[in-house]
Amino acid sequence: MVFMVYVGVLKKIRDKLQYDGLPNFSIIFLYKFMEPTIKLFKILSLFIIFFAFTFLVYLLMKKQIIGYKSADVLIQAGHEGRTTGYTGAQSPCAKEMDWNRDVADEVTKILREAGVSVARVGATLPIAKVKLALSIHFDGSTAPCSSGASIGYGNLEHQALATRWKNLYSTYYPFDWMNDNFTDNLSSYYGYKYVFSQKGFLVLELGELTCQKEAIWLRYRLKKIAVLIAYFVAQELDVQGVSLPPLQPKEAFVHDEGFMY
Ligand SMILES: [Zn+2]
């Protein structure tokens, strides 16, 4: 900027000299000294603009405002890092954000050990290009025990993937399922627009933590649910080395606890 102003001033002086029809030595001075100076400063300004622009791009990429993350899988812990706005469901049994984080961390750990590259993110999503993306959540309801597990996706092509998860989780999860995309938060999840996924982006509501009996069931199985999610991802990506967790199947649990449906 300073250089541009300086060049401007030099040009003004040059024009003034020309206008006043000054004698030859002025014109000589002008062309021998001022013109090259103007050119030099012009080039310098271009360099400075170029470097400033590069630095700006670098900063924006570092802050992940532009650019993208690339990995096999994106694992998001829902609401993580949020201090304002909706920070997740809560009940005397649990804070959703804590459970989301614990499950997301465990899934990430297992997948990384199996050689899968994982972009582990919180509520602030980077622009990402992955094979598969999962956002981990637990639901809350003002009327306890009126919700349950559910799945969200922004693209109908991801429905088959969602159904495969539902089939797997249903083998163990003994509570109710809500329909896919049963809320706007699921069907129009803000994260969909940030992630380019080859196989799909699912928001997994893993159960209702405002339902006490369900929250207790979930609480003691968070790690195993994480293994189940990691197993699901490994199956989808054809990765070896992640086995099914030792989870009691739904039938056995319902039988033991005497649950009625
Ligand atoms: Zn949530």
Given a cut of 50, is residue 261 above it in pLDDT? no
The model's pLDDT over 163-183, given as tens digits with 9 standing for 90+, comes to 999 999 999 999 999 999 999
CB proximity list for 240: less than 8 A, separation 6 or greater: 114, 234
Specify the 3-state DSSP secondary structure of 164. helix
pLDDT at 92: 87
What spacing in Å lies between the alpha carbon of 164 and ligand 1's midpoint?
21
What are the structure tokens assigned to 117, written together?
């590259």
Find the 77 Cα to ligand 1 centroid distance in Å. 9
From ligand 1's centre to the CA of 254, what distance in Å? 26
Q: Measure the CA–CA gap between 256 and 178, rounded to whole angstroms.
A: 24
Whether the full predicted model's pTM is greater than 0.85, yes or no, is no
Which residues, 6+ apart, have CB-to-CB distance to 150 below 8 Å?
139, 177, 178, 179, 180, 182, 186, 205
**pLDDT for 24-53, tens place per residue?**
666 666 667 777 888 888 899 999 999 999
CATH architecture observed for domain 69-257: 3-Layer(aba) Sandwich (3.40)
Domain limits, the chain: 2-62, 69-257
